[in-house]
Amino acid sequence: MAQICLSLTGRSIAENLSVLELYRGKVDLVELRADHLEASEMLHLRSFPERAGLPCILAVRRRKDGGSFEAGEGVRLVMMAKGLTHARMESEANFAYVELESDFHVPAIEEACRIFGTRIIRSYHDFEGSGIDRLDELWSEVAEEADEIPKLALACRGARDFATLLEWSRRLPDRDRILVGMGPYGFPSRVLANKTGSLLVYTSALAAGLPSAAPGHTDPSTLLDTYRFREIGPASEVYALGGGTAVTASLSPQLHNAAFSRAGLDAVFVPFPAEDAASFLASAEAAGAKGAAVTVPHKEGILPYLSSVSDEVASVGACNTILREEGGWRGFNTDVTGFELDILDFLGRKDLFGLRATVIGAGGAARAVLSVLSRLGAGALILNRTLAKARALAKTFDFTWAANDERAQQLVAEKYSDLIVNATSLGMEDGSPAEPFDWYEYQGHEAVYDIVYRPAETAFRRRAMAAGCRTRNGWGMLRHQSAAQFRIWTGREPPSSYLE
């Protein structure tokens, strides 16, 4: 089973040891990134393994390999020699591992490692993405010595690169190895290290404020608490979250993984960032995903790749949930259920007859919102920057449409101000902070609903609150639609954890 390695990037040995104490019990080993240390700290390298009390990796990473070390190779060689000097006492710990790049061969260091019982991690780092195109060639460079641990850390340019890395890993011989897909598109490789056969997964002390050691690192606590990493094995079922690169900030993994745990299921829910719907499906299929949630911007783009769809998808024209069936993927839309349950609770109503609403946006989420408003008897005005999309949706649901700008101020204020719904992703964490409705002057009586739930208060919602409006974010919608997804994927009733 893969182990959790904490990469320490503090400026001093003392700072790194202090941070380690915050994570002790959560990690199996630590990597001392000596390239981040102040020059005066080099004298204390040798003491680190003993003081850490865990197996340690010594890495002095050059800038071209993603590190901070810029001095010459002679200086780096001296640093490694200081760190790997034989223990002064038999009870004193050595570094368990040292990382040496594929182009760094120093017989004296390599021999010292073998004498002192330090295993060599032979690595290659690629931050451009071309490494995925020559996996066999790179493997031959790092896997030449049988007693070394080959490591490939390769940037994924898109979701298909992660799929390629995962499929290629299944053809490798059974030996200790470290495989990492870097960057947002490679994120699943970290959570699914046991699927790639990686000896360990690297993490950074993000919650402690240390710089991330590499692109795509997560915090050990997130890996354990959100993804239940120690419970994921080669046979665990995978469920994916497909969307743009912002999906790694989604709260859906917390909901679904907690539910899988509560239900006693050997399953894990993982974000799969993807540049388009086809690439997302390629990566999900490579991971053997049984089902998936689909979010912006792929809710409409996923439709051509589905073999069948539910009635809700057919009527709404957007899909947020897929299930692997014999012959392909079946699409569902649980946004409809999620929004309906939460909006009725927010407004304290059993239906929406007589209500006049303004909906901002014309994407997949807006389609679900408009479907609910139509079915529950509300009238609606659709606002969107792209008029053609607003016009098409208005025709579908027999609603009114207009441009999303100040020219609609009077129309909204006088006819469609009972409920204002932001159905765009604007304001979402790690996305655009812009407010989609900044030209509107609230009167205070409007009920304002923002489907964005992270952050809990967006600029859109804060301005409405300041004007005295009742507001709600999309957290309740997410919980309800996630519970419906669980039911579709597993055929079981969702546990109460979704709504707690």
Q: What is the reported pLDDT for 88?
A: 54
Predicted confidence (pLDDT) per residue in 402-436, tens digit: 999 999 999 999 999 999 999 999 998 877 788 99
Average pLDDT over residues 7-21: 97
List helix spans (H) across 266-425.
277-286, 311-316, 335-347, 364-375, 387-397, 409-415
Burial level of 127, CB count in 10 A (0-12/13-18/19+)?
Answer: middle
Q: What's the rounded Cα separation, in Å, for the pair 142 and 101?
A: 8
Predicted confidence (pLDDT) per residue in 351-396, tens digit: 999 999 999 999 999 999 999 999 999 999 999 999 999 999 999 9
Q: Which of the residue ranges 1-15, 347-361, 431-445 would you say has the lowest mean pLDDT? A: 431-445
195, 299, 350, 415: which is the annotated catalytic residue? 299
**Among positive and negative, which fits the CA dihedral 460, 463, 467, 470?**
positive
First to last CA, the chain: 32
Active-site annotation holds for 350: no
Residue 328 has pLDDT above 90, yes or no: yes
CB 42 within 8 A of CB 17: no
Q: What is the reported pLDDT for 456?
A: 94
Q: What is the reported pLDDT for 90?
A: 53
pTM of the model: 0.94
Q: Which of the residue ranges 214-218, 436-440, 447-451 would you say has the lowest mean pLDDT? A: 214-218
Q: Which domains does the chain have, with CATH numbers?
A: 3-219 (3.20.20.70), 344-478 (3.40.50.720)
Q: What's the rounded Cα separation, in Å, for the pair 215 and 245?
A: 13
Q: What is the reported pLDDT for 116?
A: 85
Q: Which of the residue ranges 36-45, 161-170, 198-207, 480-489 would you say has the lowest mean pLDDT? A: 36-45
Assign 51 a pLDDT band (cuts: 50, 70, 90).
very high
Residue 181 has pLDDT above 90, yes or no: yes
Average pLDDT over residues 435-442: 96
CB 405 within 8 A of CB 439: yes
Assign 112 a pLDDT band (cuts: 50, 70, 90).
confident
Q: What is the reported pLDDT for 91?
A: 54
Name residue 261's amino acid. Answer: S
What does DSSP assign to residue 69? B
Q: What's the rounded Cα separation, in Å, for the pair 66 and 158?
A: 19
**Among positive and negative, which fits the CA dihedral 94, 96, 100, 106?**
positive
> What percent of the chain is modeled with pLDDT above 70?
99
Average pLDDT over residues 300-318: 97
For helices 135-142 and 159-169, give the axis angle rounded to 10 degrees. Answer: 50
Mean pLDDT (the chain) is: 95
